[in-house]
Structures are given as structure tokens and as C-alpha cells.
Amino acid sequence: MIRDWLDSANAAGDRLNNAAYGPLPEQLATLHNDFEKIHPFIDGNGRAGRLVLNLLLVRLGYPPVVIMKQQRPVYLSAMQRADDGDPGLLGELLARAMLDNLNRFILPSVARPARLVPLAALVDERFSIAALRQAAQRGRLDAFQGADGVWRSSRRAVDDYARTKGQRRKGE
């Protein structure tokens, strides 16, 4: 069984870049779920499966995914649906996790202080996404909302906001 999965995973590079096999997230979901169905270890199958999935993603040039603890119920439900032949929800969860990971870990490390990035990429120990969004909506954080609905700002703007937070502004 594991040999069959390995053969499938090794062939994934050609399949994953070919739309004829379906959307990339659903293909990844199917591959991930197929590994989990084998259940090769006594303990740690989920962690091992996500690690193998991330190895595949990185080798294919995509960012790794992180399934957060609070996403566990949705993840398990998505795995169950994939077991029943519907990889859509799991594929969506993986795609969103990949995008969130990009915003949370990768964009901040490559964004220059003045480069505009989604607010999610600017979250740190000082400010949550909710706090940054609220500051942007109130005009206290130099940010703008794009046509896609995503608020964007810069590290420099967040640092400026942190320095002035709690101070009264003129006219207040």
C-alpha cells in the first residue's frame, strides 16, 4: 500500500501542474487523504501526513501549510468528506492554510518596511489582525482597503501606529 502511495506521490509533480487532473488543492487533498487512509504508524499519522504533504509542496515550489489547532474540527470533517470521495472541503482548507501561511510567515520576511502587504502579514505580539483592522477602519493606521476587500498597510505604518497609540490626536 505504501509503495503504491509513494509511486502516486512521485508522479504528483506532473499531475499537479496539469489542470486536466482537476484543481491543484483538490489533487493535494486527495494525495494527503490517501496517505492518511494507509495509517502506517501506531501514533502520529496526522503529523507525519502533514509533514509529507509539506515536503511535496516545498519540492513543487509552493509554501508549506500549517493547520492550526482551532482548525482541527474542520480538518477532521474535511478528511471524512475526502474519505467519502469529496476532496473539495479539504482542498479548500489546504489552499486557505497555504495563503494564510504566506501572509503570516513569508510576506513579512520579504516585505520592506514601506511595502504594502495584507494586514494579516503585519500581525505580531503587539497587534492582532482584529486590532489592526479596527485601527485601519478608524483611520488611525495608515492603510487602504483594496477592491478585493483586503486591507493593506506597511510595517512602517504599523510601527508609526504603535508609537502614537494611546495619544490624543488633534481635534479630539
**Active-site positions?**
39
Q: How far is CA 149 from CA 26, 119, 138, 146, 155, in A?
A: 26, 11, 16, 5, 20
| Cα angle 33-39-40, degrees, rounded to a multiple of 5 | 125
4 in Cβ contact with 66 (< 8 Å): no
158 in Cβ contact with 132 (< 8 Å): yes
